């Protein structure tokens, strides 16, 4: 079983979907939160249980079976455990300014999570994924609209995470990648040649909401068929 070679330590909505596509272009097979939507066989409860009981042993090889890289939530929350488990892995901290990050998550992930938590006819694997998301992201803030609406607190959590990552991961194992940077430093860090294609630019707020609507419509059609 191939171990993880590249691990994303940055929160979602910091260019992680573009990074996933970039890593796949470089030859990795990358887990991202969207992987749980695309593949109903992936088990999000592994990550929920790991978050809820940090003393319980986790089979990380099983959690990431078939993947050689992982970015976005929930992976970014377990960077300390993964740093110890995979001592040869390299880490990437994707970053953007806190104001634009909060605006983005407020207009994308949060309302979608709230929709599914409210109930309705959703595919079972989506419900399991959203339950995990609502538990692990931002220490459960998606379950508490009043807390999530506290912009200063959400941005504090975002910045605290980024600061802790930089304090914890040795500099030689960590690349800090700003939103929209492109290929050059990423490829140098991973010792890969620069591809002859543009760096991916995906999952804007508009694309996120459009793709989510498309998935939910397809899932509803399948359920009623």
Q: What is the side-by-side order of every strand in the sheet holding 90-95?
A: 30-31, 69-70, 6-8, 90-95, 174-178
- Of the candidates 129, 92, 83, the residue with the CA atom closest to the CA atom of residue 10: 92
Report percent pLDDT > 90 for the chain. 81
Instruction: Say whether pLDDT at 76 is over 90.
Output: yes
128 and 49 in contact (C-beta within 8 Å)? no
Instruction: Say whether pLDDT at 225 is over 50.
Output: no
d(CA 197, CA 86): 30
Helix 98-107 vs helix 151-168: angle between axes, to the nearest 10 degrees?
120
Instruction: Tell me the average pLDDT across 5-13.
Output: 97
**Which residues does residue 69 pair with via DSSP β-bridges, in sequence order?**
6, 30
* Residue 197: CB atoms within 10 Å: 9
Mean pLDDT of the chain: 91
- Phi, psi (degrees; rounded to nearest 5) at 162: -60, -40
Residue 1, pLDDT score: 53
d(CA 181, CA 21): 14
Q: pLDDT-derived band of residue 209, with 50, 70 and 90 as boundaries?
A: low
DSSP state of 96: -
Instruction: Tell me the average pLDDT across 110-126.
Output: 91
**Which residues does residue 177 pair with via DSSP β-bridges, in sequence order?**
94
Instruction: Tell me the average pLDDT across 55-82.
Output: 96
39: preceding bond cis by omega (within 30 degrees): no
Four-point Cα dihedral 223, 12, 148, 137, nearest 10: 70
Handedness of CA 102, 106, 107, 113 (dihedral sign): positive
Q: Which of 37-41, 145-149, 158-162, 171-175 has the lowest mean pLDDT?
A: 37-41
Q: pLDDT-derived band of residue 112, with 50, 70 and 90 as boundaries?
A: very high
Instruction: Say whether pLDDT at 221 is over 60.
Output: no
d(CA 71, CA 20): 7
Instruction: Say whether pLDDT at 55 is over 60.
Output: yes
- Ordered structural domains, the chain, with CATH: 6-224 (3.40.50.300)
Q: Which run of H or of E encompasses 206?
A: helix 205-224
Instruction: Tell me the average pLDDT across 145-164.
Output: 98
- Of the candidates 132, 100, 139, 96, the residue with the CA atom closest to the CA atom of residue 113: 132
Residue 179, pLDDT score: 85
DSSP three-state, residue 91: strand
Block residue for tokens 């030859």 = 27
Instruction: Say whether pLDDT at 67 is over 60.
Output: yes
């Amino acid at each position: 079983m191939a171990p993880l070679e590249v691990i994303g330590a940055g929160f979602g909505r910091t260019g992680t979907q573009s990074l996933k596509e970039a890593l796949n272009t470089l030859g990795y097979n990358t887990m991202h939160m969207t992987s749980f939507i695309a593949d109903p066989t992936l088990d999000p409860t592994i990550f929920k249980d790991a978050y809820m009981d940090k003393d319980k042993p986790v089979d990380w090889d099983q959690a990431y079976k078939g993947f050689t890289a992982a970015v976005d939530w929930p992976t970014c929350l377990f960077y300390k455990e993964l740093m110890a488990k995979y001592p040869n892995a390299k880490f990437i901290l994707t970053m953007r300014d806190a104001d634009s990050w909060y605006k983005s998550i407020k207009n994308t992930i949060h309302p979608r999570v709230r929709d599914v938590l409210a109930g309705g006819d959703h595919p079972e694997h989506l419900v399991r994924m959203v339950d995990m998301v609502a538990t692990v992201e931002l220490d459960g803030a998606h379950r508490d609209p009043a807390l999530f609406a506290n912009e200063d607190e959400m941005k504090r959590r975002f910045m605290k995470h980024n600061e802790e990552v930089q304090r914890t991961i040795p500099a030689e194992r960590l690349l800090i990648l700003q939103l929209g940077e492109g290929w050059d430093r990423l490829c140098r860090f991973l010792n890969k040649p620069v591809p002859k294609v543009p760096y991916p630019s995906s999952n804007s707020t508009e694309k996120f909401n459009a793709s989510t609507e498309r998935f939910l419509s397809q899932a509803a059609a399948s359920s009623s068929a």
